Amino acid sequence: MKTAMLILFATVIIYGCNTSSKDEIIEFIPGTYVRTGQNEFGKEFDTLVITIQNPAAKEFKIQNRWHYIRQVEGEANVPEYKVKETSGIYNAETRLLEEAETLDHYSFDVKEKILFNGTNKFKKIK
Domain boundaries, the chain: 24-124
Q: 46 near 26, Cβ under 8 Å?
A: no
* Cβ neighbours of 97 (radius 10 Å): 25
Are 32 and 124 in contact by the 8 Å Cβ rule? The answer is yes
- Nearby residues of 41 by Cβ (< 8 Å), 6 or more positions away: 70, 71
Res 15 pLDDT > 60: no
CB 76 within 8 A of CB 69: yes
Q: What are phi and psi of 12, to 5 degrees?
A: -65, -40
User: The whole model's pTM is what?
Assistant: 0.76
CA-based angle 93:95:97, to the nearest 5?
Answer: 115
Pair 86, 98: CB distance under 8 Å: no
Residue-wise pLDDT tens digits, 26-79: 999 999 999 999 888 889 999 999 999 999 999 999 999 999 988 887 777 888
The CATH number fitting domain 24-124, selected from 3.10.310, 2.60.98, 2.40.128, 2.70.50:
2.40.128
CA distances from 8 to 1, 20, 47 (A): 11, 19, 51
Q: Give the number of other CB atoms < 10 A from CB of residue 64.
A: 17
What's the pLDDT tens digit per position in 74-125?
777 888 999 999 999 999 999 999 999 999 999 999 999 999 998 999 999 9
